[in-house]
Structure 1
Amino acid sequence: MAFLVKKYGGTSVGSVERIQHVAQSLKQARDAGDDVVVVVSAMSGETNRLVAMAREVMPAVVDVRELDVLLSTGEQVTIALLTMALKELGVEARSYTGAQVRILTDNSHSKARILDIDTARIMDDIKSGRVVVVAGFQGVSEEGDITTLGRGGSDTSAVALAAALKCDECQIFTDVDGVYTTDPRVEKRARRLDRITFEEMLEMASLGSKVLQIRAVEFAGKYNVPLRVLSSFKPGDGTLITYDDEENTMEQALVSGIAFTRDEAQITVTGVADRPGTAYAILGPISDLNVEVDMIIQNIGANDTTDFTFTVHRDEYTRVIDYLKSNNDTLGATTISGDDRIAKLSIVGVGMRSHAGIASRMFRSLADAGINLRLITTSEIKISVVIDEKYIELGVRALHEEFELGADEVIES
């Protein structure tokens, strides 16, 4: 017997048949004696449909308060249908919106953050033997307004509920059966990991892995909520994400996974004055544009000048480079140039902490594959490089082989 939060994403509840399948799975868990709180997303495609309608009505700037009211209805459809399906199977269940549970958030519409959760109603239902079905992605502000949590909000809802309820585990059901050493679509010998640390998962999520959203992993790590990623389409134990312990550290592989993202752009500002405040003069206004800067490299140039290189999301490339060029009278740069056809490739692993030579193995492997490195950054458990986008799949496969991450069998697509 266990106390579990189970979260099902849009593909897992994408049709009435899928919802009925989830209900059957929940009935089995309940019959086994588990206490269950379920968090669900909107049915696959529903949120996009609602956003499209909102943009038809308000093409220029959509009112974010009213958009939250609209988008929250997607999850409400799912919780009602799933609760009905459970009752049809003879399972006592009750559904709640974020406001009914009182998932209290700040008033930042479309990107609200959870402040508190009132667990009283949920615990009363659990004690009465009911399965509780909660709408993910949404909450309510102190003013009583409906709010939504932004991208990956249902994952965050699930982890927050698991923390507040002190559950044994938070299980995230999706269309993959766990966390892999890399994307199986790129490397056919990618291997599912039985276990990974919060630190590693945070790095992989931030570096391009789409299995879990960063906010959910951060929340789970902060409140020590064991996370498990499972498939809602086939049985299995999935991947457990938890804190490392001494025994696991001793057995930890040097590198746990390889992450990559193609959505990168590089901008280089050359010949700016090498004096205090130059970095802020370049990056401060970019931050004011609400653009996130990733990798940053500064080199000493000639004649008391410096060269400054950084990366941004590819969607922001044109806006940032146009801004810098239009304000070059202030910067005084010799040239402002860039490239929006680059990619970031990273290796991640807590085992790197206690082993030297990991970087040299990575660089040698990529050199043997004929891949030039543009930028390099390192931390305690990751090494990231920027390369030409056309070499990304070759680089992933080379590193996967170098660090012996492959499974014995090839994954069939």
Structure 2
Amino acid sequence: MPTLVMKFGGTSVADLARIKNAAMKVQREVDNGYDVIVIVSAMSGKTNELVGWVNETSPLYDAREYDAIVSSGENVTAGLMALTLDEMGVPARSWQGWQVPIQTTSAHGAARFLDIPRKNIDAKFAEGMKVAVVAGFQGVSPEGRITTLGRGGSDTTAVAFAAAFDAERCDIYTDVDGVYTTDPRITSKARKLDKIAYEEMLELASLGAKVLQTRSVELAMRFKVRLRVLSSFEDVTDTSGTLVCGEEEIMESNVVAGVAYSRDEAKMTLISVADRPGIAAAIFGPLSEAGVNVDMIVQNISEEGRTDMTFSCPVDQVLRAEKAMQEAQAKGSINFHDLVADKDAAKISVVGIGMRSHAGVAAKMFAALAKEGINIKVITTSEIKISVLIDRKYMELAVQALHDAFELEKAA
């Protein structure tokens, strides 16, 4: 039998009625002739509740016990899904990470996959099991301890199983019906995409689009897993959702596939830093060690051996960045006149594989923003994206203006 992987997120299994709804979608694929591996998240809100209990019990918790506790939400969902399918006459069995076993590193709370052996699940399929319901987000370390993969890890689990079992496709069921050209809450002109290339989806996910977890898209691109994003709350047809695939599967696409945004960004500038070899390493090394997620980086022209260095980071990491820079200055590894933080910024990005072969995208983007009187603070580019930092109050206006400028409401 061909294998299909289906993943259901927290809102899709939030209560028993929604678990039954998801089980009916699984039954449909079994009737279509698939052996199905279902990856489930914890019921909506349960992981946050478990994390809260851990923090209340032990603020300086042992990460091994944290993983043991927070992974239990997925175990409950897996068991309930398997029972529901059995009641519907579909032979199913639940699997916790250690039973597969999903082998991971020992980095509790942020484990990475080492291997997913097929032997145990394949044996059960051979015996007549039609659905393996696997608890997402978890695995087992070489030491035999339960591990978790970090928030959003169930998406990554699903893609990893699709790769390990040579699945025909990996269907990610969520509370949206696909990937849109931008957030439909910002502009009613946003259009659902039938297909999107791995690279475009990876950029959109990393730039703020919340539809898929970044690690899952990276894994899908590496192992050429065809991903489909679907709504749990709509009837599924062969043309439902958005297919994430290799660009060779996409006949024609717009130059720009979508507009992404990240609302809570900060622009930080080190004023008058010594311009010498190694200064960038002296600045960004401590920031990395402090866990600051640096994105855009711009260095000004040097004057009299001094320069300004600007970078962006999430606004909730500003205090951490300031502390890291002050400590580096106190140690004498860097010397600067001042550190200025602008906490009212947003990042807007246009993404598209068509940008590789089309000129003028940057000019059109900047002209559209200028027409609306939106000032650009920082610009960065890559082969298939252009990102700018602007004042947060203009974020929605910028998204709407760029969506209109590139006519994303129209299909290619």
The reply to whether TM is greater than 0.5 is yes
Q: TM-score range by the shorter chain?
A: over 0.9
Q: 1:30 and 2:30 equivalent?
A: yes
**1:407 Cα offset (Å):** 5.9
Q: Which residue of 2 aligns with 1:379?
A: 382
Q: 1:74 and 2:58 equivalent?
A: no
Give 1:346's match in structure 2, choosing from 337, 345, 349. Answer: 349
Per-residue deviation, residues 255-303 of structure 1 (Å, max 9, x unmatched) = 0000000121111012111111111121111111121211100011321
Q: Which moved more, 1:153-162 or 1:18-27?
A: 18-27
AA aligned opposite 2:250: N
Q: 1:320 and 2:311 equivalent?
A: no
**1:324 Cα offset (Å):** 2.2
Q: Distance in 2 between matches of 1:253 and 1:63?
A: 49
Q: Conserved in 2, the CA contact under 8 Å of 1:125 and 1:131?
A: no
The alignment-based identity, stated in percent, is 53
Q: Distance in 1 between matches of 2:275 and 2:141?
A: 47
Q: Which residue of 2 aligns with 1:197?
A: 197
Q: Distance in 2 between matches of 1:312 and 1:119?
A: 41
**1:64 Cα offset (Å):** 0.7
Q: Which residue of 1 aligns with 2:98?
A: 99
Q: Which moved more, 1:195-204 or 1:231-240?
A: 231-240
SS of equivalent to 2:11: coil
Q: Conserved in 1, the CA contact under 8 Å of 2:41 and 2:77?
A: yes
Per-residue deviation, residues 341-379 of structure 1 (Å, max 9, x unmatched) = 100000000001100010000000000011000000001
Per-residue deviation, residues 314-336 of structure 1 (Å, max 9, x unmatched) = 11102212442454453321221
Q: Conserved in 2, the CA contact under 8 Å of 1:255 and 1:347?
A: yes
Q: Conserved in 2, the CA contact under 8 Å of 1:189 and 1:407?
A: no
Per-residue deviation, residues 170-215 of structure 1 (Å, max 9, x unmatched) = 0000000000000111111100000001100010000000000011
Per-residue deviation, residues 199-248 of structure 1 (Å, max 9, x unmatched) = 00010000000000011001111111000100000124100001111x73
AA aligned opposite 2:268: I
Q: Which residue of 1 aligns with 2:164?
A: 164
Q: Distance in 2 between matches of 1:306 and 1:401?
A: 38
Q: Distance in 1 between matches of 2:109 and 2:327?
A: 32
- Cα 1:407/1:15, change in 2 over 3 Å: farther
SS of equivalent to 1:293: coil
Q: 1:282 and 2:283 equivalent?
A: yes
Q: Which residue of 2 aligns with 1:397?
A: 400
AA aligned opposite 1:168: E
Q: Conserved in 1, the CA contact under 8 Å of 2:93 and 2:129?
A: no
SS of equivalent to 1:180: coil
Give 1:248's match in structure 2, choosing from 243, 247, 250. Answer: 250
Q: Distance in 1 between matches of 2:52 and 2:129?
A: 40
**Which structure 1 segments of 5+ residues have no match?**
409-413
SS of equivalent to 1:150: coil
Structure 1 length-normalised TM: 0.95
Q: Conserved in 2, the CA contact under 8 Å of 1:178 and 1:229?
A: yes
Q: 1:108 and 2:107 equivalent?
A: yes
AA aligned opposite 1:304: G
Q: Which residue of 2 aligns with 1:301?
A: 302
Q: Which residue of 2 aligns with 1:182?
A: 182
**Which structure 2 segments of 5+ residues have no match?**
none
Q: Which residue of 2 aligns with 1:147?
A: 147
Q: Distance in 1 between matches of 2:398 and 2:164?
A: 42
Q: 1:51 and 2:51 equivalent?
A: yes
Q: Conserved in 2, the CA contact under 8 Å of 1:260 and 1:343?
A: yes
SS of equivalent to 1:186: coil
Q: Conserved in 2, the CA contact under 8 Å of 1:321 and 1:337?
A: no
Q: Conserved in 1, the CA contact under 8 Å of 2:298 and 2:378?
A: yes
Q: Distance in 1 between matches of 2:168 and 2:328?
A: 54
**1:149 Cα offset (Å):** 0.6
Per-residue deviation, residues 54-81 of structure 1 (Å, max 9, x unmatched) = 111113x111100111111101100111
Q: Distance in 1 between matches of 2:323 and 2:133?
A: 48
- 1:107-146 to 2 correspondences below 5 Å: 107-127=106-126, 128-146=128-146
SS of equivalent to 1:384: strand
Q: Conserved in 2, the CA contact under 8 Å of 1:190 and 1:407?
A: no
Q: Conserved in 2, the CA contact under 8 Å of 1:152 and 1:213?
A: yes
